[in-house]
Amino acid sequence: MKIVVFGASGGVGQHVVKLALEKGIEVTAFVRTPSKIQISHPFLHVYHGNAMQADDVAAAIEGQNAVISCLGSSKGLKESTELGNMIENISLGMQKHGVKRIVYVASAGIYGELPGISGKMIMKTLKNPLLDHRHAVDTIVNYNLDYTIVRPMGLTNNDPIGSYREATEGIPAKGKSIARADVANFIIKALEDSQYIHQSVSIAY
Reference 147, options 71, 86, 87; nearest CA is 87
**Total Cβ atoms within 10 A of residue 19:** 18
Write the burial class of residue 204 (CB in 10 Å: 0-12 exposed, 13-18 middle, 19+ buried).
buried
Q: What is the predicted pLDDT for the residue at 25? A: 98
Write the burial class of residue 119 (CB in 10 Å: 0-12 exposed, 13-18 middle, 19+ buried).
middle
Provide long-range contacts, Cβ within 8 A and 24+ apart, for 107-113. 107/133, 107/151, 107/152, 108/151, 108/152, 108/153, 108/171, 108/175, 108/202, 108/204, 109/151, 110/134, 110/137, 110/151, 111/200, 113/151, 113/170, 113/171, 113/202
Yes or no: say if 113 and 162 are a contact pair by the CB < 8 Å rule: no
User: What CA–CA distances, in Å, run from 116 to 98, 113, 174?
Assistant: 42, 10, 10
Q: Which of 68-77, 102-111, 118-127, 176-185 has the lowest mean pLDDT?
A: 68-77
Yes or no: say if 155 and 12 are a contact pair by the CB < 8 Å rule: yes
**pLDDT of 142 strictly over 90:** yes
Distance separating alpha carbons of residues 118 and 155, to the nearest angstrom: 17
Tens-digit pLDDT profile for residues 53-94: 999 999 999 999 999 999 998 888 999 999 999 999 999 999
Please state the length of the chain: 205
Distance separating alpha carbons of residues 101 and 39, to the nearest angstrom: 25
Write the burial class of residue 54 (CB in 10 Å: 0-12 exposed, 13-18 middle, 19+ buried).
middle
When pLDDT is cut at 50, 70 and 90, the band that residue 120 belongs to is very high
For Cα atoms 169, 145, 66, give the angle at the middle one, nearest 5 degrees: 105
Tens-digit pLDDT profile for residues 24-62: 999 999 999 999 999 999 999 999 999 999 999 999 999
Q: Which of 11-20, 21-30, 31-40, 150-159 has the lowest mean pLDDT?
A: 31-40
Task: Record the pTM.
Answer: 0.96
Reference 113, options 173, 50, 191; nearest CA is 173
